[in-house]
């Protein structure tokens, strides 16, 4: 069995403990210690990181393509082909990419990361096809929200059927884009929908995604879609809370600029207490994803508050020294509680 250095240390510690407690004999311990090999470099982790970087780059490229009419028209002129024909060609390439990726996954199920990466091209050309369709005469007056909805539905169905983490992730990203655009259309681009600005709407979309993740958790067949849903849902939720802590529920920059940041302090407290609550929940349930997100956005919120309230009035050394002291005290208290719980066992 191949394990990382960290996993090997845990296994060695567990085997040593079992031997000391008399649960296994010395020959059994020796046999267990030789049953695994330490991997020198975590290539899978590198592949996963590369995979997420590719997703980020694709989101940026597709967003620019769909939003830039000039770029689409220039590309059509360079190829000297009608947009409708380019849309069909792109759709055919996307279908081929999805089919090839599916067949390759059947042949080589162990190559999970590269198999998922092949779907990347399917998602890319599906999005490009939608962009070209938008430039045809028949659909030139259709709002972009309908194209985002179509992409969301197409990718959601494919991701669900193929149980693909990558395709499903993009469906959730397009879902957020559609939600924001559609509510903006319904509000006549006045900045508010049902009294909520864009960050608050994004917060609700994050809650919807997390509710969907909860449903997926109860269906083992679709477990590959569970973690991406949680990741994206938490990202929507906590990033929205952070933005709300800065702009509150103001719908335009002109109104927000007239307000002192101290008047938005209650929103800042909401964001910080939410992060602390999620951090405590993550620690209690040993949920590293929630704990990691909560800690990251807690620090982001604290640094943001410094720039808002203390940049001119307090020296940076004092502010961060105060933060260091507070977290040191929290860490010391947590260490004491951990020691007491260990002794009780």
Residue 6 lies in a domain: yes
DSSP 8-state class, residue 193:
B
Residue 181 lies in a domain: no
Helix (H) and strand (E) counts for the chain? 14, 2
Taken in order 277, 280, 286, 288, the sign of the CA dihedral is: positive
Q: What is the pLDDT of residue 342?
A: 47
Paired sense of beta strands 2-3 and 37-38, if any: parallel
Q: What is the pLDDT of residue 43?
A: 54
Residue 139 lies in a domain: no
Q: In a structure prediction context, what are the per-residue pLDDT tens digits for the chain, which is 345 residues long?
A: 666 666 667 777 877 877 777 777 777 777 777 776 665 555 555 555 666 666 667 666 666 665 666 666 766 665 667 778 888 888 999 999 889 888 888 887 777 777 777 788 888 889 888 888 888 878 877 888 888 999 999 999 998 888 888 888 899 999 998 988 888 888 776 777 777 888 888 899 999 999 988 888 888 888 888 888 988 898 899 889 888 888 777 777 667 677 776 777 888 888 889 888 988 888 888 888 888 888 888 888 887 777 767 655 656 566 667 666 766 666 665 556 555 544 544
Q: What is the pLDDT of residue 298?
A: 85
Taken in order 76, 79, 83, 87, the sign of the CA dihedral is: negative
Residue 219 lies in a domain: no
Q: What is the pLDDT of residue 344?
A: 44
Domains held by the chain: number = 2
Residue 324 lies in a domain: yes
Range of the domain at 22: 1-40
Taken in order 230, 108, 161, 127, the sign of the CA dihedral is: positive
What count of residues does the chain have?
Answer: 345
List, in order, residues 6 or more apart from 251 with CB less than 8 Å away.
Answer: 190, 191, 192, 197, 198
């Amino acid at each position: 069995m191949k394990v990382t250095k960290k996993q090997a240390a845990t296994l060695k510690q567990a085997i040593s403990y079992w031997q000391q407690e008399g649960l296994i004999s010395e020959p059994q311990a020796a046999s267990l210690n030789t049953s695994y090999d330490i991997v020198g470099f975590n290539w899978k982790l590198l592949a996963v990181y590369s995979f997420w970087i590719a997703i980020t780059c694709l989101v940026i490229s597709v967003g620019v393509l769909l939003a830039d009419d000039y770029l689409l028209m220039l590309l059509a002129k360079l190829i000297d082909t009608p947009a409708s024909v380019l849309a069909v060609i792109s759709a055919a390439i996307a279908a081929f990419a999805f089919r090839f990726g599916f067949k390759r996954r059947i042949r080589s199920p162990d190559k999970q990361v590269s198999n998922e990466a092949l779907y990347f091209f399917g998602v890319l050309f599906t999005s490009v096809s939608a962009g070209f369709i938008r430039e045809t005469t028949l659909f030139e007056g259709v709002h972009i929200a309908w194209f985002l909805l179509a992409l969301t539905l197409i990718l959601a169905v494919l991701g669900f059927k193929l149980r693909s983490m990558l395709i499903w992730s993009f469906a959730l990203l397009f879902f957020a884009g559609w939600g924001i655009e559609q509510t903006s259309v319904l509000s006549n681009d006045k900045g508010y929908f049902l009294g909520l600005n864009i960050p608050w709407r994004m917060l609700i979309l994050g809650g919807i995604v997390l509710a969907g993740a909860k449903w997926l958790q109860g269906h083992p067949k679709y477990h590959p879609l569970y973690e991406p849903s949680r990741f994206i849902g938490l990202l929507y939720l906590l990033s929205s809370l952070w933005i709300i802590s800065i702009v509150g529920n103001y719908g335009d920059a002109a109104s927000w600029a007239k307000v002192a940041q101290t008047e938005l302090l209650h929103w800042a407290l909401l964001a910080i207490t939410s992060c602390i609550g999620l951090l405590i929940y993550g620690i209690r349930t040993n949920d590293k994803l929630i704990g990691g997100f909560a800690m990251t956005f807690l620090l982001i919120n604290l640094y943001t508050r410094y720039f808002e309230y203390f940049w001119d009035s307090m020296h940076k050394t004092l502010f961060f020294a105060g933060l260091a002291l507070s977290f040191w005290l929290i860490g010391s208290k947590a260490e004491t509680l951990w020691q007491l719980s260990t002794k009780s066992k």
